Amino acid sequence: MKLEQSVCGLKEPFMFWLWSGMAGSPNADRLAGLQNVEDVAFETKDDRLLRGYKLKATGREGPVSASKGYLLVMQGNAILADQIIEAFTPYSSAGFDVYVYDFRGYGRSGGKRRLNAIVSDYVDILAALNSSDYEQRLVYAMSFGGVAFLDGFESHGRLDRIIVDSTPSRLSDYGCPTEYDPVNHLPEDCSQFLFIAGQNDRVVPPSMSRELVETAQQCGAQILRDEAFGHPFMEHDRSVHRRRMQVIKDYLLR
């Protein structure tokens, strides 16, 4: 199968077109004030160029000679890298390199927006990161990012701490093959996971994530069901957003 072949029928390219439109256009002005940001690119196995950003690890007094590890952020399907990278500066300040890429066909990244291809891209991105000299390996995957992450989980290698936030249990309800259902890719041991399910989420409501969360709990994941949490980076109440980000930080940097 070609990477950019649709696996979910005729609706797949249309839905990705809608979602990428909601993400908007890249805007480098959003990076103003970030002193340790670096423009990065990743070439995929089918010669597409994914563009993103790296927040270089710093300490309290500036750049460090060697980072403690990496944090890979996998965003939702209506978000671009430049819209959220600043929110993860606490991790670079704690000594981690932070990576966020635009999905294939989004923002500054080339290629066609297709589920199978995006899953493959992150298998390769994580393989490249894990082949580097990073000691600690952290992943925060939200919404569709959690789908892309879990669908390739068997190929991701050792990861130390993982958060999956507001991710649906299944895509087969929408015409995709069952092999792309995230719930089918959970490992036997989920002890390195935290799953977050916002009970006020209107994008991925609790009914859509319940099976995934309950199955993850059975294999040892930590679970947070919060009545106030909506969808990541879409909450209008900034105090709720700040509390969510603090929960994420406390788990990943514990």
DSSP calls for 8-25: S-THHHHHHHHHHHHH--
**Confidence check: pLDDT of 65 > 80:** no
- Letter for the amino acid at 214? E
**Confidence check: pLDDT of 1 > 90:** no
Residues 6+ positions from 241 with CB-CB distance below 8 Å: 233, 235
Residue 33: which pLDDT band, with cuts at 50, 70 and 90? confident
Largest CA distance in the chain: 53
**Confidence check: pLDDT of 60 > 80:** no
Domains of the chain: 29-252 (3.40.50.1820)
Average pLDDT of the segment spanning 1-13: 91
Q: What is the pLDDT of residues 121-148, one digit of tens each?
A: 999 999 999 999 999 999 999 999 999 9
DSSP code for 84: H
Average pLDDT of the segment spanning 78-103: 96
In whole angstroms, give the CA distance from residue 139 to residue 158: 11
Q: What does the pLDDT read at residue 64?
A: 67
Average pLDDT of the segment spanning 145-168: 97
In whole angstroms, give the CA distance from residue 212 to residue 178: 14
Q: How far is CA 123 from CA 44, 45, 119, 163, 240, in A?
A: 10, 11, 6, 17, 32
Whether this model's pTM surpasses 0.85: yes
In whole angstroms, give the CA distance from residue 170 to residue 154: 17
Average pLDDT of the segment spanning 202-221: 98
In whole angstroms, give the CA distance from residue 21 to residue 107: 10
In whole angstroms, give the CA distance from residue 142 to residue 195: 10
Structure-model confidence comparison of residues 63 and 41, the more confident one: 41
Q: What is the pLDDT of residues 165-178, one digit of tens each?
A: 999 999 999 899 99
Which of 1-5, 44-48, 124-128 is the least confident region?
Answer: 1-5
The three-state secondary structure class of 116 is: helix
Asked whether 158 and 127 are in contact (CB, 8 A), the reply is: no
- Letter for the amino acid at 212? L
Average pLDDT of the segment spanning 220-227: 98
Q: How far is CA 76 from CA 66, 67, 103, 127, in A?
A: 30, 26, 9, 21
Q: What does the pLDDT read at residue 61?
A: 67
